[in-house]
Structure 1
Amino acid sequence: MTCSHVEQLPASVEPDSPDGCADCLAAGEHNWAHLRVCLSCGHVACCDSSPRRHASAHFHVGGHPVMRSFEPGEDWRWCYVDNRIV
C-alpha cells in the first residue's frame, strides 16, 4: 500500500554519499547501524538504531517524508508523515 507522499516523489534521485551517512562522515564519524536514502533529494543518512539518527533529523529539518533502505538487497520505504512502510 502506498501513500500520497510516494506519488509526489521525483522519478529518481542520486545518493549524495554512497560511502555512508553523509552527516556522520562530515563529522568524522563512522558509527552507524543501517543507512537510509531520502527519496526527495538523495541524502544518505543513518537510521534510528544509529547513535545520531540522521535520517529522522533530515525529515524533521527538511520535511522530506519518504526514505528508502540503503542496505544491499533491501528496497522497503518508510513514510515519516504516515508513520508506516509504503
Structure 2
Amino acid sequence: MSTQICTHQDAIQPVTPHTRGCEECLATGDSWVHLRLCLTCGHVGCCDSSKNKHATKHFHATSHPIIQSIEPGEDWRWCYIDEAVL
C-alpha cells in the first residue's frame, strides 16, 4: 500500500450505510468476506477478498474514490484513484 497523499478527500460526505451487509450480495443471496463503505454515497459493498468484489465494482461504476472498512476494530480508509491508505 502506498504512502502517497490522497487528493480526493473532498469527496467524503457524511453518509449512513444503506444496509448491514453487501447490498448486491444481500439481493442475490450470496456471501461476502469483509465490508466496505463508500464515503461519497453510503453504498455497502464486499471487499476484494470476496468473490464478487462489489466495493471495487461500485467504484468503477460511479468513480466514488474513497471507501472505509466497516469491520469491527478497523478504522482505515482507501482511495482507489490515488491508491493511498488514509
TM-score, normalised relative to structure 1: 0.89
CA distance in 1, matches of 2:7, 2:77: 13
Q: CA RMSD in A?
A: 1.3
SS of the equivalent of 1:37 reads strand
Percent identity between matched residues is 53
Q: CA deviation at 1:3?
A: 1.7
SS of the equivalent of 1:45 reads strand
CA distance in 2, matches of 1:63, 1:57: 10
CA distance in 1, matches of 2:81, 2:64: 9
Identify which of structures 1 and 2 has the higher relative contact order when contacts are C-alpha pairs closer than 8 Å and 6+ apart: 2
Q: Could you tell me which amino acid in structure 1 is paired with residue 17 of structure 2?
A: P
Task: Map 1:14-33 onto structure 2 (within 5 A).
Answer: 14-18=16-20, 20-29=21-30, 31-33=31-33
Structure 1: which 4+ aligned runs deviate by more than 4 Å?
A: none
For the 8 Å contact 2:11–2:39, the answer to whether it is kept is no
Q: What do the CA deviations read for 1:5-49 (whole angstroms, capped 9, x no partner)?
A: 113322x1000012x1011001111x2111000000000000000
Q: Could you tell me which amino acid in structure 1 is paired with residue 26 of structure 2?
A: L
Paired residues, what number?
A: 83
Gapped regions of structure 1 (runs ≥ 5): none
TM-score, normalised relative to structure 2: 0.89
